[in-house]
């Protein structure tokens, strides 16, 4: 069996923030991929605005470096569980995985998720213990944790014999010894060449290429990115596209692209093992196979994890609709949602009885909130409902999604966290006192119990706690209410501008969400009530002007700082009878029924029907 020894395909997988993208930066720099005078941003692979701002990878990306006459294709994958659909497809394109683990945090929920996917694909692993320069780093213990995780996930004997490289990606150093960091990334490159299998060279057989990622270009249209699994593909070839439903389309390849560094370059020919991009096919989709017309042999379809969370998207119908956005009609919003489906395989968009309402399903709150954030940045105005988990029947039993939750908190806060997760039907599985004042706890919690929990968790742990969760599977449905907001809200009874005077009159009733001078409308949520019921307030009230001097006229009165909600916090905060109005300039919470009398009548009716 011939091998292509001049090529290696590898994916970098890890929990979020363990340093994957920074490590790729260093591999690019130290391989000589950049010119000496070339300016390169930090985390160069994260090229999307939201990725840069949040310091997370959302979309998988590929690059390539040259080392000792060998081309190494590197796939940088997301660390968040919500983008697991990206990770799963990427693993189909590679022969080995580089598992990055933080030298202090060790194995986290997403480490387990991505490693499980890699072991299922029978990929060859190698482990990088990163951030070795961190204070409190415990590299040797972390290696033991990783080994335990491999065994727990059913790794075979070959996979368990993984090499370990100790690295500090931010300093650009690597070593085989946890005590010594005097080497450069050459050590890691050598381990990749020695460990990751070279692709099989079957370039003389009929071609076979599978699409695993999609891109779009205004000039070339849709671009399919994937791996040549067999044979040779040339620019200008007449080929067949085997669709997911089994139908076959013929087309000519108009452009072929290869990758080097951060650039995509035109090429004329690609052979077995190459990762390439193909243009010229209008409706190409993820999982479809390209092969010669006279040898139609489709590859197995890619399995994508199903969505676990859904939200209702609506056309904005608030009193301020159309003021701040460029695209407000149902036609424009639907077009945009359908465009998103072309590149986001984990997303589902369903029509409802109303042409102005859609049910949008995704992998989690972050997945959906990033879609909403992209829409508002592009000039769209929409309203969204509270996120709901997707309940389904498994083997005849009504089941709901359950998450594996890992919590790291100072010892003082363990009781409060255990109590609050217990109320949300959490089941504790493990508790380890790390000896440095930190306690790590592991729970299984129904997904609906975690909606809106992160804000409460941060308040409970005074911001010192770290919470991570990953989808674990479906379990029988818990009866009754799980989680949810405890406080009621302050609802505006007037339309106008909120005044400092009006706001100070209601300050003792709760926490306000607005700055003075913000325009508000009747039915809009302006703050959180201190009690569990909703309260209608007037914060547009002006102070009566008189010509009578007041004894305390010159006293300075200070207002409490308002709590301004981010998009994620606003979505988590919602109740069943509320919407979040999202525009390019504003995020507003509102009641579904704006009129106070109509709202009270509806509440009475719902109580009677129960």
User: What are the binding residues for GTP?
Assistant: 17-22, 130-133
Phi and psi based region of residue 106 (left: phi greater than 0; alpha: psi -120 to 50; beta: remaining): left
Kind plus residue range of the DSSP H or E element containing 602: helix 596-609
Round to whole Å and give the CA distance between 575 and 491: 13
Contact 206, 292 (CB under 8 A): yes
Round to whole Å and give the CA distance between 607 and 94: 57
Q: How many residues does the chain have?
A: 610
Is the sign of the CA dihedral 548, 549, 551, 554 positive or negative?
positive
DSSP state of 287: T
With H, G, I as helix, E, B as strand and everything else as coil, classify residue 519: strand
Q: What residue has token string 């941003």?
A: 41
Helix, strand and coil in the chain, % to nearest 5: 25, 35, 40
**Residue in 119, 213, 559, 246 with CA at minimum distance from that of residue 127:** 119
Is the sign of the CA dihedral 153, 3, 92, 187 positive or negative?
positive
Return binding residues.
Answer: 17-22, 130-133
- Under 8 Å CB-to-CB from 604, ≥6 apart: which residues? none
Helices (H) and strands (E) in the chain, counts: 15, 35
Using CA atoms, how far residue 370 sits from 279, 321, 344, 401, in Å, is: 27, 22, 12, 21
Letter string b/e over residues 297-328, b meaning 16 or more CB atoms within 10 A of that residue's CB: ebbeebebbebbbbbbbbbbebebeeeebebb
Round to whole Å and give the CA distance between 332 and 315: 10
**Residue in 572, 604, 381, 600 with CA at minimum distance from that of residue 491:** 600
Kind plus residue range of the DSSP H or E element containing 221: strand 221-230
Q: What tokens were used for 192?
A: 């990749």
Measured torsion, CA atoms of residues 346, 352, 358, 364, in degrees rounded to the nearest 10: -40
Measure CA 275 to chain center. 24
- The residues that bridge with 277 in the sheet, in sequence order, are 225, 257
Round to whole Å and give the CA distance between 26 and 45: 11
Round to whole Å and give the CA distance between 474 and 392: 8
- Under 8 Å CB-to-CB from 285, ≥6 apart: which residues? 211, 214, 243, 244, 342
């Amino acid at each position: 069996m011939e091998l292509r020894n001049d090529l290696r395909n590898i994916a970098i997988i890890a929990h979020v923030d363990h340093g994957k993208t920074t490590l790729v930066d260093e591999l690019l720099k130290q391989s000589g991929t950049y010119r000496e005078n070339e300016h390169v941003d930090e985390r160069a692979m994260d090229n999307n605005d939201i990725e840069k701002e949040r310091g997370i990878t959302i979309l998988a990306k590929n690059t390539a470096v040259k080392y000792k006459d060998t081309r190494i294709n590197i796939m940088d994958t997301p660390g968040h569980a919500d983008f697991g659909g990206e990770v799963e497809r990427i693993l189909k394109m590679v022969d080995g995985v580089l598992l990055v683990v933080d030298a202090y945090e060790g194995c986290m929920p997403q480490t387990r998720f991505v490693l499980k996917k890699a072991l299922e694909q029978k990929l060859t692993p190698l482990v990088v213990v990163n951030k070795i320069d961190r204070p409190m780093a415990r590299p040797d213990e972390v290696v033991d944790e990783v080994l335990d995780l491999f065994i727990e996930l059913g790794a075979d004997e070959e996979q368990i014999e993984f090499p370990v490289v100790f690295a500090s990606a931010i300093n650009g150093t690597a070593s085989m010894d946890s005590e010594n960091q005097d080497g450069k990334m050459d050590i890691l490159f050598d381990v990749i060449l020695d460990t990751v299998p070279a692709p099989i060279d079957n370039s003389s057989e009929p071609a076979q290429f599978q699409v695993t990622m999609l891109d779009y270009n205004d000039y070339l249209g849709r671009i399919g990115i994937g791996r040549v699994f067999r044979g040779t593909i040339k620019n200008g070839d007449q080929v067949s596209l085997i669709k997911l439903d089994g139908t076959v389309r013929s087309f000519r390849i108009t452009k072929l692209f290869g990758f080097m560094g951060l650039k995509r370059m035109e090429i004329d020919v690609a052979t077995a093992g190459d990762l390439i991009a193909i243009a010229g096919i209008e409706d190409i989709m993820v999982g479809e196979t390209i092969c010669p017309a006279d040898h139609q042999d489709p590859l197995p379809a890619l399995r994508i994890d199903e969505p676990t969370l859904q939200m209702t998207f609506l056309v904005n119908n608030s009193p301020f609709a159309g003021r701040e956005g460029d695209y407000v009609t149902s036609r424009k919003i639907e077009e945009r949602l359908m465009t998103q489906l072309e590149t986001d395989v984990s997303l589902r968009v369903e029509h409802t009885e109303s042409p102005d309402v859609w049910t949008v399903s995704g992998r989690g709150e972050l997945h959906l909130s990033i879609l909403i954030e992209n829409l508002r940045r592009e000039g769209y105005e929409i309203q969204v409902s509270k996120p709901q988990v997707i309940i389904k029947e498994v083997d005849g039993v009504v089941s709901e999604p359950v998450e594996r939750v890992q919590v790291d908190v100072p010892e003082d806060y363990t009781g409060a966290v255990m109590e609050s997760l217990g109320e949300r039907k959490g089941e504790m599985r493990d508790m380890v006192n790390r000896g440095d004042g930190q306690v790590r706890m592991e729970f299984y919690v129904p997904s609906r119990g975690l909606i809106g929990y992160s804000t409460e968790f941060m308040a409970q742990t005074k911001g010192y706690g770290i919470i991570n969760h990953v989808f674990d599977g479906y379990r029988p449905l818990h009866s009754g209410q799980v989680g949810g907001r405890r406080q009621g809200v302050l609802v505006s009874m007037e339309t106008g501008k909120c005044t400092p005077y009006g706001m100070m009159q209601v300050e003792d009733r709760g926490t306000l969400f607005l700055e003075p001078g913000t325009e508000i409308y009747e039915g809009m949520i302006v703050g959180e009530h201190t009690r569990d019921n909703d309260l209608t307030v007037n914060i547009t009230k002006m102070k009566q002007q008189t010509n009578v001097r007041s004894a305390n006229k010159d006293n300075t009165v200070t207002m409490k700082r308002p709590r301004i909600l981010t998009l994620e916090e606003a979505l988590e905060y919602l109740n069943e009878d509320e919407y979040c109005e999202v525009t390019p300039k504003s995020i507003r919470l509102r009641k579904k029924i704006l009129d106070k009398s109509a709202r009270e009548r509806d509440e009475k009716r719902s109580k009677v029907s129960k």
